Structure 1
Amino acid sequence: MRASTHPIRLRLAGVAVLAASLAFVSACGGSDDNGPTPTASGSAGPVDILGPIDKATGAPVKIGVITEGSSPTADHTNDKRVIPAVVKYLNEHKGGIGGRPIEVTVCETLSDLSKAADCGSQMVDDGVAAVLIGTSAVVEAAWKPLNDAKIPVMLYSSGDPTLLASPTTFVLANPTFGFVDLAIQVAKDAGNKKVSAIVVDVPAALHSAQEVAPPLFQKAGIGYELVRVAPGTADMTPQMQQIADNGSDQVFIIGNDAFCISAMNGLGAVGFTGTISGISQCITDATRKSVASTTLKGMVISASAPIGPDSPSMRLFTKVAETYGKDIDLSNQDGMIMFMLIAGLQTATQGITGDITPATITTTIKSMKETELPGGGGINFRCNGKAVTDSQAVCVRGGLSTTLDDKGQPAAYKVLANTPIPD
């Protein structure tokens, strides 16, 4: 199956940080005009991209996987279909972990804090060697009992300072990229001198905009101004006039689709002609229907995984899903994030020998050399604690961005600010 051309569901790096406050559930969902959502049918074809056969043998390595499942706020059942497909691929072509087959135990949180904590405790009781936590709004609740037990945890993203400081936790997304670093990089690339951040006035969104962003923009030599707008503001023309008057040549929008629609239409009303960038939650069907294509074209947004346009990552994910899975939705970005986590753990533990325990897995991951993150669209990772200052759990610098075409769809993905991680 070729890479999907169906409209894509993009998620922001760090979406779990905002999920509860902004109700960001599924962003960048497209219309049905391009046909049905593609799925992996289970049919096997050429498997060259999967690599040579390297079957795992011996006693299994028990790995826990915590996922959201289906809840009132999000449906992550696709993740559960991805998990066994990726495990079969790794056990057949990558020698599992340390040459031994990976065996997974899955627990669903249902977006419930108490259930998430129970999942973490269950994994401790089950004696797993490591745990992966998929996209979730209750990451920290599941993580705490695992951290207390010193079980290594690999997850996609979190903004929790305690989690990011953990020596047994490994995070595959830079927590500031989608909110701050992308805006700075876009400004540098375009030669822009001042950025106004248009931010929905809720605590989860304001933390990065108020506390994290200002010193980083100052260090980059780029002007910065925060424009706070109350949720539900339909006409933002007065606030956008403020931006037109303050000399900004770029805006970065943080909010859900309704918020971003009002902001972009307000910018159009005041004649703003600068660069528009924002988080991926800005772009949904509603945005495409409500905002002029001339405004959407060229907009730069963050992305978590390179779903959609053809790329080596998309081809591998598709082939794994086709060969080892069934009914996997290839347009769902959370599915590729799950692929990234499972394959990322296997990659980070290559070369492990002897007893495979939480302690030896942690040591092996910390000593890994910098290498490409499977499913990461060309992003490299290294988990030696030196990717981001004061956040030793983070394994990645920079992230992915995409520029929208005139239909509001991602045209291609680009790796930004993924500089080498020092020894």
Structure 2
Amino acid sequence: MRTTAEMRTAAASLGRRTGARPGRRSLGAVLAASLALVVFGAACGSDGDAPSPANTTANAGVLGPVRAASGEPVKIGIISDGATPGFDASAQLDVADATAAYLNERRSGIGGRPIKLVKCKTQGDPSKATDCANQLVSDDLVAVAVAESGVIDDIWRPLAAANVPTMVYGAGSPDVLADNESTFALGDPNYATLQMPISLAKKLGVHKVTAVVIDVPAALHSAQEVAPGAFAKAGLEYQLVTVPPGTADMTPQMQNVAGAHPGLVFVIGNDSFCISAFNGLRAVGFDGKISAISQCVTDATRKAVPADALKGMIVSATVPNGGTDPSTVLYDAVLKTYSHGIGSADAVIGRGMFMTLAGLATATEGISGTITPATVIATIKAMPERELPGSGGQKFRCNGKADPADPAVCVRGGLSTTLDDKGQPTAFEVLGSTPIGN
């Protein structure tokens, strides 16, 4: 446990690590963060050991051989927003238990020692998030795993100040992504709005991308200041069309788009904005390729946009929910074997937590000797490129080279999926991924 003097020293160093800088957060990151609704209340505490395994034999081939951890447990912190008045992410905690049980029985825990979880729920309250982080800092943990949270900055500050290694799944905060000391982010913040359309255009053999973007500041920074250079560097022509939010009928704007040889039309906005764009393109008879960020396609979209307009559309994806790819088969087997019955909706909510906790274990493979926050950080930074568990085949490496402008980032590229005639995802594909070198 850290002394009071050490805590004060760590807190004093935070100012050197969190100075404000111009944000490079994309709209995709903004919208993803907004899904974790900001509310109030909290509950913090240790939940003890992970549940005992069940139904192990049935999934043995998928889970791999038994390699049980033993010895003194290694304490890992888990922070989730948990249940809130507007959104219930409690499944993240259940998935964390199941993941720890799997890692302890099949992956030798961390350094051969069993993982013991210490869990805390913020319920979306910034002050409770800070309390959670401070509690975990004082609880002699070696690392913390956080999936999606609406209060990630408030979670991160005390952990960063104390140099506690923190692996996060969903993070768009510039300060979090700029941390080159103890934070490791399992998502490419530029993928959804930049790297995906660039990669997709190259795959389709088109030489121009027309971005139809909601006219709000969070979206326009990337679309106006970052995108032109990125597309030019990729050898692609780029055209930006901005439309105010709340525009119910985009037929006039989409007529102009369709008449200007748009190449790939890429839509960035929330579902109501995208519904208007999709229907506008359909109304003017556009038959070219349309793509969009994942936030465009919801149940509301499927009801408001004809199936023939959605069929074949390629959209970004945060996690490969559904399907039969090996990472999904593994995730399903872990839940079936080690959880107490997690439903399909909760499995979707918990997927990011599985990727984060299993990713932490993967990143620390080979750690030996005394396991401390410092040795965990060193091991993670020295890891070779590996596949991120549960991610649909994405690779990660946390040496600060995946995106030098955001050294916490460990992943290049992301997932895409093609919609079927019901607007549902089919197979998932990794786009924009290149090896992360030394």
Which one of the candidate residues 171, 177, 184 is aligned to 1:164? 177
**Native 8 Å contact 2:33 2:149 kept in 1:** no
Q: Where do 1:91-240 residues align within 5 Å?
A: 91-167=104-180, 168-240=182-254
Deviation of 1:257 (Å)? 1.5
Amino acid aligned to 1:330: S
Deviation of 1:15 (Å)? 5.2
How much identity, in percent, do the aligned residues show? 54
Match of 2:386 in 1: 371
Q: 1:147 to 1:14 in 2, by over 3 A?
A: farther
Amino acid aligned to 1:238: P
2 CA distance for matches of 1:310 and 1:134? 23
1 CA distance for matches of 2:57 and 2:93? 20
- 1:265 maps to 2:261: no
Q: What is the DSSP-based 3-state SS (H/G/I as helix, E as strand, rest coil) of the residue aligned with 1:178?
A: helix
Alignment TM-score, normalising by the size of structure 1: 0.89
Q: 1:14 to 1:205 in 2, by over 3 A?
A: closer
Match of 1:7 in 2: none
Match of 1:86 in 2: 99
Deviates more, 1:193-202 or 1:348-357: 193-202
Which one of the candidate residues 360, 375, 379 is aligned to 1:360? 375
Match of 1:51 in 2: 64
Q: What is the DSSP-based 3-state SS (H/G/I as helix, E as strand, rest coil) of the residue aligned with 2:59?
A: coil
Deviation of 1:246 (Å)? 3.0
Structure 1: segments with no counterpart, 5+ residues: 1-12, 26-39
2 CA distance for matches of 1:382 and 1:122? 29
Q: CA RMSD of the aligned region, Å?
A: 2.1
Amino acid aligned to 1:324: Y
**Native 8 Å contact 1:85 1:325 kept in 2:** yes
Q: What is the DSSP-based 3-state SS (H/G/I as helix, E as strand, rest coil) of the residue aligned with 1:198?
A: strand
- 1:293 maps to 2:307: yes
Amino acid aligned to 1:400: L
2 CA distance for matches of 1:389 and 1:46? 40
1 CA distance for matches of 2:254 and 2:54? 48
Alignment TM-score, normalising by the size of structure 2: 0.86
Q: 1:80 to 1:14 in 2, by over 3 A?
A: farther
**Native 8 Å contact 2:145 2:356 kept in 1:** yes
- 1:325 maps to 2:343: no
- 1:348 maps to 2:360: no
Match of 1:400 in 2: 415
Match of 2:436 in 1: 421
User: Per-residue displacement from partner, 1:361-412 (whole Å, max 9, x unpaired)?
Assistant: 0000000111111111111111111111212111111111101111111110
User: Per-residue displacement from partner, 1:162-184 (whole Å, max 9, x unpaired)?
Assistant: 22121211111111111111011
Q: 1:42 to 1:111 in 2, by over 3 A?
A: farther
Amino acid aligned to 1:264: F
2 CA distance for matches of 1:42 and 1:15? 39
**Native 8 Å contact 1:305 1:376 kept in 2:** yes
Q: What is the DSSP-based 3-state SS (H/G/I as helix, E as strand, rest coil) of the residue aligned with 2:113?
A: coil
Match of 1:409 in 2: 424
Q: 1:320 to 1:204 in 2, by over 3 A?
A: same
- 1:65 maps to 2:65: no
Deviates more, 1:254-263 or 1:202-211: 202-211
Count of matched residue pairs = 397
2 CA distance for matches of 1:99 and 1:153? 20
Amino acid aligned to 1:130: A
**Native 8 Å contact 1:42 1:325 kept in 2:** no
Q: What is the DSSP-based 3-state SS (H/G/I as helix, E as strand, rest coil) of the residue aligned with 1:238?
A: helix
Deviation of 1:21 (Å)? 6.2
User: Per-residue displacement from partner, 1:319-376 (whole Å, max 9, x unpaired)?
Assistant: 1101110231335433111111111000100111111111100000000111111111
Deviates more, 1:341-350 or 1:189-198: 189-198
**Native 8 Å contact 1:68 1:134 kept in 2:** no
2 CA distance for matches of 1:338 and 1:14? 22
1 CA distance for matches of 2:27 and 2:248? 26
Q: 1:198 to 1:270 in 2, by over 3 A?
A: same
2 CA distance for matches of 1:175 and 1:334? 20
**Native 8 Å contact 1:194 1:248 kept in 2:** yes
2 CA distance for matches of 1:115 and 1:403? 40
